[in-house]
Structure 1
Amino acid sequence: MRPLAIATAVLSFASAAVCVEKGNLTKPLTSKLILPSTFRPAQNFKNANLVHIINLEKSYPKESINVVIENVASTPQDEYFIPFTSQQMATIGGLEVKDRKNPESPLFEVEAFIIYLPLTGTNRCYSDTQFYRIHLPEPLAPKAQQTLGISFYYLSALNPLPATIAQADKQYLVYTLSAYCQSAYDTLKQKTEVKFPSTTVPEYTIVPGTKGSPESPQKQGSKFTYGSYGEVPAGAVEPVKVRYEFTKPLIHVSELERDIEVSHWGGNIAFEERYIMTNRAANLSKQFSRVEWASQTYYNPPSTAVKELRFPLRVGSLEPYFTDVIGNVSTSRFRSNRREANLEIKPRYPVFGGWNYPFRVGWNADLKKYLRKLSGGEGYVLNVPFLEGPKQPEGIEYEHIELRVILPEGAENVQYSTTVPLVSASTSLHRTFMDTTGRTALTLTAINIVDDLRDRELIVTYDYPLLAGFRKPLVIFVTILSLFAAAWGIGSLDVTIKNKRS
């Protein structure tokens, strides 16, 4: 297959407008910055060496790019661009960039560029190529080099082939990639490694060698390597399609609502999570057979169905509960000791490909394990996991997450910090029983998240004045006193009926 150099198509866009937004935003946004129609990333860099790693061991592809970039301009540069197709931008998540040689350094700032072609009328046609812009923490001097570690993943990118299978059949997935890593700059040397969950890869694209080099891929167990390749122009692609065995569910959570409620007076923190879960695995070609399913449980073969979900909770978690749309489910187990707290639940039915399963799960914990009071003043620091949820060997992807942290009534000056990419954040009032003005609620929204980000911290700081702490008991006291006063007043009324004397 001949390489397709499409640098012009990738890097030049006539009559294009660009919209910029911070964070991991993957849907078209309202334009905030209009750039010239001839916009294209300046060729200020070249990739001296690039290694592209694609990991297909889970139910979502994870990609890593380790690249040595060199400033070929005559002045220091601090902006590096990465191109993606519009389809990739719609499903990409968790794009992070760091200094490969200094893993402890902070993540680099990343911005998404959404490019559209202006049309007459109300509709706009989005360009097939979009960009992420990386801001280097310090401008790179001319002829200097820096090693970047870029990682990201795609949601809903793996498709079963065939799309329907029998209940006990093996499943095969298809993934399309490029033997050349997509880049906005010339690359002097590169290779692409693909890691599969097993050695069963019945179909894959073969790329002929050039200039005496062997054909690709080279196989080493469950790893395929395309390349290495010599100089490749900016924008060049070499389409590759692989089909491999993956007889596990493809768990996709389209909506997760996670509530964390803090109670200072009760010394308790309550967690509740509401899921809308779908299995994207191959659909059943025939009607589900309960008899066949029961017979398979004796030898437990690989299956595309979701059999159970395991929640590794924080040590000290208490009183878990689990319900689905019908009610309580008895097939759940909770084990807790000084070293672990595990909640294991089984859905009411095995969730096969194309089936949905909405449910909720919740638990309580001692607030002291998550909350710390700052020395001096009225400040508090709350440290909780942004995402917990099930931990499955095949992995779980989350399309939309809405996290609410409900603080005590009277909390103010709320600030937060997390390394999870967010698309929005807001504060509001959440009113519950016996509230006066309502509790302060911090709402954070994230999209395209995977369980690789489990247990990443969310740190919330807030002030909680002493008088605000007495608001709740004061309201309860006044309410009870009012009830007694009302009862006494009603009881002292003379409601007897007497004869009227002349």
Structure 2
Amino acid sequence: MWSLAITTAILSFASSAFCADKGNLTTPLTSKVILPSTFTPPQNFQNANLVHVISLEKNYPKESINVIIENIASTAQDEYFIPFTSQQMATIGGLEVKDRKDADAGLFAVDAVEFDTKSDTQFYRIRLPTPLAPKAQQTLGISFSYLSALNPLPANIAQMDKQYLVYTFSAYCQSAYVTLKQKTEVKFPSTNIPEYTILPGEGGEKESPQKSGTKFTYGSYGKLPAGAIEPVKVRYEFTKPLIHVSSLERDVEVSHWGGNIAFEERYVMTNRAANLSKPFSRVEWASQQYYNPPTSAIRDLKFPLKVGSLDPYFTDVIGNVSTSRFRSNKREAHLEIKPRFPVFGAWNYPFRVGWSADLKNYLRKLNTGNGYVLNVPFLEGPKQPEGMEYEHVELRVILPEGAENIQYSTTVPLVSTSISLHRTFMDTTGRTTLTLKAINIVDEFRDRELIVTYEYPFLAGFRKPIVIFVTMVSLYTAAWGIGTLDISIKGKKRS
């Protein structure tokens, strides 16, 4: 009996090792390209027209660059470079590039270029899917966000005071190429903008910015050389929390036997809002909540889950938190949680939430063979009107024991991937686990799909029951064998 159990364990280990070797570890989307320290982007392009849009409507700045690029070289070109400062490179996230006139072309390949770590100017390289012919033009849509880029001013406020944020940028969009025409639009969350930089007009033009409700426009500007900048600072009201998740660990556990999929998310959350100038007053807080005034504190978090989600839970370092509500019906599954205390500026709140769902809503078996396709959201956390930013995200997809030939697909920029074994209760060798890591992403990536394909042989589903059965029979056999032994003490017979 024991030999059969050992044989089963050896076979399962070999299967898992084979799975790890054949895993589809695709190249991370934010891989670095090493270039010589003397590198400068070749002037193969010029920007015929550029519109730079900065959105400050959430608790992180999102920038979009819509630019018509023109190949001014004598040969076809497919590499376009975007410059950033070293500080921007450390906080930039979710950089995506696409063809504005061809939505079906998909996202372009983007790489971080590393050529001189001491230089304050770094680059991202965009690879055009088709080389651009001489004198031809193409319209690019470039979007990205910055984390931890907004700072409260003043840095300390009273409990119910208004909050103001400061953001510094360039009225001239940073570019490695000559730009013939451009303008910068800034969108604010409200019209309360007490301070902003005014730039004089040139050549009879009006001074900037031109105001239109909650939108400021700097420019338009004529021909500008590569690398031109014009610093601009704005200060505006944003009496909302600045939710920053320094670490998110998200587990997705698949169980074929139970027909269940379990989700758990572990957060280390910080509010980057202005600090309190006086100690927190629970009495003042309670008296103001009837009027529901704007506040920079985190009062609650709303999780719109997929229809059919079940059994949610909410815990923190103390234990279970009862201040949560779950509403589920045929149209929605909405989880609303409230921390034990309002989270003000510079306060931390680590917690975890989890829920389960019917596996058939996420998993589909292929028509032929033993293949399965799993479709889950990469992020499924809170959906807040003020937005959320994530510094480090680690997603683990824990597949059934014996799953092999793992492949995946997602549009979320990744920094690393790995396949390993995760051992849980009554496992023989461990469950196959796909681990994906991302940095500096925002809540706009919420609900982006992660598609995982794998093979799960029919006999692999019986591995655990067989091992458990063999182990139990062996224990009973050993107990019976020990019970038949005669261990009584008998006196020696005299002759």
Q: TM-score, normalised by structure 1?
A: 0.91
Which structure exhibits the higher relative contact order, with contacts defined as CA atoms closer than 8 Å and separated by 6 or more residues? 2
Counterpart in 2 of 1:463?
A: 455
**What residue in structure 2 maps to residue 33 of structure 1?**
34
Which deviates more from structure 2 when the two are superposed, residues 250-259 or residues 480-489? 480-489
Partner of 1:23: 29
Measure, in 2, the Cα distance between the counterparts of 1:100 and 1:34.
Answer: 29
Give matches, 1:144-183, under 5 Å: 144-183=136-175
Distance in 2 (CA, whole Å) between partners of 1:24 and 1:242 is 31
The one-letter code sitting in structure 2 at the alignment partner of 1:360 is R
Deviations, residues 398-417 of structure 1 (Å, cap 9, x unaligned): 00001111111111111111
Give the superposition deviation at 1:457.
0.5
* 1:113, distance to aligned residue in structure 2 (A): 0.8
Q: Which residue of 1 aligns with 2:245?
A: 253
Structure 2 counterparts to residues 404-415 of structure 1, below 5 A? 404-415=396-407
Other-structure match for 1:389: 381
Distance 1:490 1:381 in 2: 49
Q: 2:303 aligns with which of 286, 307, 311?
A: 311
SS of 2:406 mapped into structure 1: strand
Which residue matches 1:427?
A: 419
Following superposition, the deviation at residue 492 of structure 1 comes to 3.4
How far 1:343 moved relative to its partner?
Answer: 0.8
Q: Does 1:334 align with 2:326?
A: yes
Q: Which residue is equivalent to 1:16? A: none
Quick one: which amino acid aligns to residue 341 of structure 2?
Y
Shift of 1:478: 1.4
* Contact kept? 1:254, 1:276, Cα under 8 Å: yes
Deviation at 1:480, TM superposition (A): 2.3
Q: What does residue 16 of structure 2 align with?
A: none
Q: Paired residue for 2:216, among 209, 224, 233?
A: 224
Is contact 1:66-1:147 (8 Å) kept?
yes
1:364 CA drift (Å): 0.8
Give the corresponding residue for 2:102. Answer: 102
1:91-240 equivalences under 5 Å are 91-116=91-116, 126-240=118-232
Residue matched to 1:44: 44
1:234, 1:34 → 2: CA distance? 20
CA RMSD of aligned residues (A): 1.3
Residue 114 of structure 1: how far off its partner (Å): 2.2
Q: Which residue of 2 aligns with 1:14?
A: none
Equivalent position amino acid for 2:464 in 1: K
**Unaligned residue ranges in structure 2 (runs of 5+):** 1-26
Query: Is 1:448 the counterpart of 2:440 in the alignment?
Result: yes
One-letter amino acid of the counterpart of residue 136, structure 1:
L
Q: Which residue of 1 aligns with 2:20?
A: none
Counterpart CA distance in 2 for 1:34 and 1:191 is: 32
1:80 counterpart residue number: 80
User: Which structure 1 residue ranges, 5 or more long, are not aligned?
Assistant: 1-20, 117-124
TM-score, length-scaled by structure 2: 0.92
Alignment correspondent of 2:356: 364
**What residue is the counterpart of 1:263 in the other structure?**
255
Q: Partner residue of 2:59?
A: 59
Alpha-carbon contact 1:46-1:69 (below 8 Å) kept = yes
- Whether the aligned pair in 2 keeps the contact of 1:100 and 1:147 (CA below 8 Å) is yes
**2:218 & 2:210 partners in 1: Cα distance?**
7
1:498 is displaced (CA, Å) by: 4.9
Please state how far the C-alpha of 1:232 moved relative to its aligned partner.
Answer: 1.1
1:500 to partner: Cα distance = 5.0
Determine the C-alpha separation between the residues in 2 that align with 1:96 and 1:482.
Answer: 58
Q: Find the residue that maps to 2:476 and give its secondary structure.
A: helix
Query: Which SS does the other structure have where 1:322 is aligned?
Result: strand
- Per-residue deviation, 1:496: 4.7
- SS of 1:484's partner is helix
Deviations 1:247-306 (A, max 9, x none): 000000000001111111111111111000000000000100010001011101000000
Corresponding letter in the other structure for 1:132: Y
- Cα drift, residue 109 of structure 1: 0.5
The 3-state SS of whatever aligns with 1:278 is strand
Q: Give deviations 1:63-105, integer Å, cap 9, x for gaps.
A: 0000001111111111111000000000000000000011232
User: Structure 1 CA distance, aligned partners of 2:118 and 2:305?
Assistant: 43
Distance 2:414 2:405 in 1: 20
Conservation of the 8 A alpha-carbon contact between 1:22 and 1:111: no
Matched position secondary structure for 2:399 = strand
Which residue is equivalent to 1:68? Answer: 68
The answer on whether the counterparts of 2:394 and 2:436 sit within 8 Å (CA) in structure 1 is yes
Distance 2:273 2:35 in 1: 42
What is the distance in 2 between the residues matched to 1:335 and 1:186?
Answer: 55
SS at match of 2:475: helix
Query: Are 1:485 and 2:477 matched, yes or no?
Result: yes
Tell me the CA shift for residue 24 of structure 1.
3.0
Aligned AA for 2:469? F
**Structure 1 residue 435 displacement after superposition:** 1.2
Aligned to 2:285, what secondary structure does the other structure show?
A: helix
Cα shift at 1:332? 0.7
Q: Which residue of 1 aligns with 2:392?
A: 400
Question: In the TM superposition, what is the alpha-carbon distance from 1:433 to its structure 2 partner?
Answer: 1.3
1:351-383 per-position Cα deviation (integer Å, ceiling 9, x unaligned): 000000000011111111111111111111111
Q: Is the 8 A contact 2:72 2:134 kept in 1?
A: yes
